[in-house]
Amino acid sequence: MNILVVARCLPLPLHHGDRLILYHLLRTLGPRGHDVDVLAFSLDGRDAAVLPAARRLARWLEVVPEQPRSGLAYLRRLLTGTPRTPRQCWSPAMATALQARLAARRYDVVHFFGGIQVYEFGPLTAAVPRIIVPYESHGLLLERAVADATRAGERLRLRGALAVTRWFERTMYHGFDRVVLISEVDAGYLRRLVPDLPIVVIPNGVDGEHFAPRAGRPGPPTLIFVGNFAYRPNQLAATVLVREVLPRVRAVIPAVRVVLVGASPPPTVQRLAGDGVAVTGWVPDIRPHLHGATCFVSPLTQGAGLRNKVLEAMAMEVPVVATPLSCDGIAVRAGEDVLLGTTPPALARQAIALLSDEALRRRVGRAGRALVTREYTWEAVASRYETLYAEVAGAGRSATIPPRAR
């Protein structure tokens, strides 16, 4: 098939988790005989360093600089509705590039990767089957943040943002042949908002050969948490792990240490370092850190979507202790594939159980690996997207080049 991807970002670098789907789809679909072209927003100057590698993943790839949008821009869109011409779009440059590409080549399907960043270009491709993959529901993330907010001012601000987000999520997916979400939890939220949307759930995956178990776990008992720390829910989870979980574990196992691995740790996370706590910042390969850990602990209480870092730890047979929210979208069995806890004391008890019992660690680690290799490989994910592409392309719509909007 000929596939055009309109993406919120480049497929690299991979330490940004939302790029994983795009990267692995490109990596997998090309060798299967599909021709994939990509129009992507460039978020900042650092994208230039990965552009050559990104271009090798597609038949053709072009980037368009993304222009920052103010809160006022979103409010204006509330009044004007979805744009119908390039000039009305937040990014006329992307709209123009998209129209030029549609005029140059015939496509079987247009795959929009992103939500608020790319939805506005949907009407420009109305004659071609189109799907959109918003990755996660931003409204669900905000709902959870409102529930956890402790200050009245913060709660008021979040409720305002949630009201605007819900308006967009109620309207911006109309006209797409399929809306793909990565977890049933996110899908359920969006179905409540818009019951008639054609929603499909396709989870993220893991490269099981890359994230494979290694023999022996060196060093002292170690709890690890991995995430992009530019994401506020990861910052909060790291703080809970160090301030509330670690002291309880250390009271029973004094030698335990914590390693926080991930890009962009802000000062609040950097200050957690010391006294048996390491903050690595970005690392080129997280596998050595996972291999050196005794247990992966994920105390997430906010956020949405599916956590690939949990899947990667499971793929390496690192036993996982997590909140239920950390496992949204993953078909785990509590007490088998992972150990679950809803509060810091409960997470600490589960971590102590794993650190104290090698047989339990081995059993949970192996069960997690088996689940990942059975249900969550990128090859399985690509196959589901292939089926979806064929389904929407064969639905009877003419895949002709649309007229240029004026």
For residue 135, the one-letter residue type is: Y
Say whether both 346 and 384 belong to one domain.
no
pTM as predicted: 0.81
Mapping DSSP to helix (H, G, I), strand (E, B) and coil, where does residue 119 land? helix
pLDDT at res. 148: 79
d(CA 322, CA 368): 13
Is residue 75 classed exposed, middle or buried when 0-12, 13-18 and 19+ CB atoms within 10 A define those classes?
A: exposed
> Residues with Cβ < 8 Å from 75, sequence gap 6 or more?
164
Mapping DSSP to helix (H, G, I), strand (E, B) and coil, where does residue 71 land? helix
Q: Does residue 41 lie within any of the structural domains?
A: yes
Say whether both 322 and 262 belong to one domain.
yes
d(CA 204, CA 352): 30
CATH of the domain at 105: 3.40.50.2000
* Domain extent for 232: 222-375
CB 36 within 8 A of CB 68: no
Length of the chain, in residues: 406
- Count of the separate structural domains present in the chain: 2
Token pair for residue 156? 């008021």
Say whether both 184 and 57 belong to one domain.
yes
Say whether both 8 and 140 belong to one domain.
yes
Q: Does residue 355 lie within any of the structural domains?
A: yes
Say whether both 77 and 124 belong to one domain.
yes
Say whether both 261 and 133 belong to one domain.
no
Q: Does residue 356 lie within any of the structural domains?
A: yes
- Opening angle at CA 44, ends 83 and 123, nearest 5: 15
Q: What is the pLDDT along the chain (406 residues), one digit of tens a residue?
A: 999 999 999 999 876 667 888 999 999 999 999 999 999 999 777 788 899 999 999 999 999 999 888 888 998 998 888 888 899 999 999 999 999 999 999 999 999 999 999 999 999 998 999 999 997 788 888 888 888 788 888 999 999 999 999 999 999 999 999 999 988 888 999 999 999 999 999 988 898 899 999 887 677 999 999 998 988 889 999 999 999 999 999 999 999 999 999 999 999 999 999 999 999 999 989 999 999 999 999 999 887 656 789 999 999 999 999 999 999 888 899 999 999 999 999 999 999 999 999 999 999 999 999 999 998 999 989 999 999 999 999 864 443 333 333 2
Say whether both 31 and 155 belong to one domain.
yes
Say whether both 320 and 237 belong to one domain.
yes
Say whether both 51 and 188 belong to one domain.
yes
